[in-house]
Structure 1
């Protein structure tokens, strides 16, 4: 049993959603709003299929753009829950000619006991219809959060009987005047769901996008931490250069004294020769 409470749309994708499959009259979704044209002598509206239930449910929305009265004598913006019986419906009408907000429970398209108040574009920006098993309530709000009840009526019998057969119809009509449009928005939601793109800088504890950090490895001259390789027969003196992690190649220095032959001659006077040279 899909309650009308579950119908949510902020119209921000600029595509008429599947829930509005019975829409008619050239409606469109523009600038994050449901736009309904008012063309003289023609009806147009955003309308769901007949699959919803008002009993035990609530539904609210706002009307940010209203049409001009122009030269019309019947210019209306409607927010109605309709039954499967033609002319049986309940909801709101904003009359742009009389500047009245009408709260109506229609049978055969009319409610002799309807309640009308002077329309206030600020305080009546948001409209809500709800049913609690006993009564139906018509409420208004300037912000979608703080509500004022404008009419209460014992629940008509058709509402609990019309389970899964109601439709929401957001429709407009003008009998004459210049073509313009009305807009509906924020059905059962206060969120516009906007995506904001911005730039910023991050710290070590936040995510940030930046240039990659690179580690540079340099070369240097080593002494204590490098190994010098010397020629095998060299005097143990060598110099060399290398990076910190490489071996240095050294060039032998000094004089080679390996395998030296010593020649001993005949002793001369003044020499003292000890054994074994005697």
Structure 2
């Protein structure tokens, strides 16, 4: 019998926690959160090939210091590749605002390929892949409990502004704990329906038929989720949740390795920002399309 997932976030998509003795596994969770936010900022402000090359090498280093396999992450990307392809095609060919003042490379009826469309499509694809890699590496090396403790430490200064940090962390805790359980219950119900002859597995190629066959699963899953939430609320009331300040049994200590990793993230972020601000990214695109 298959056990319920306990440490992973989304089983089957390459982002469940894997216990290893790596540099990134040993990093303090709050330092890791800040560092990954810097990486996210670098991804969002990147605008061309030079900046994305820096981010590519940063991802390679992250995979190396986390001792994770890039194949596991690629499996998760391949599962949502149809969605990525559709969004990419819309971005490249079908957005009118990208055609004004652009160089038309190819056109056929209402389909127009421009230099701005290609740039936008490239950035969308690269940013999406980098974001998936970062999220995957983070959750492969950090348990949900460590993430919440780190998030609490990062948000703790907001308590001076009377922000409900404890309640916010509890909401995140409940949400993270419920995701793998919800997926497990859905998979369990799907297997039960398949054993009764329902056509909801991967052999069904028609997406409309597959969606129609999945509709009967929503009601029992929704009812069970409400029931579990009600049970959790009763348990929290029985344990007098909210009657005093929160405390943690384990408090991670920071070391020099944590600050080296944070410095590395800051260097990547500053390098990307410098390339974008100096116009190197824009100049690179001009060279590409002039050639």
Q: TM-score, normalised by structure 1?
A: 0.20
Larger Rg: 1
Q: TM-score, normalised by structure 2?
A: 0.20
Question: Relative contact order: is structure 1 or structure 2 higher (C-alpha 8 Å, sep ≥ 6)?
Answer: 2
- Structure (1/2) with the larger strand percentage: 1
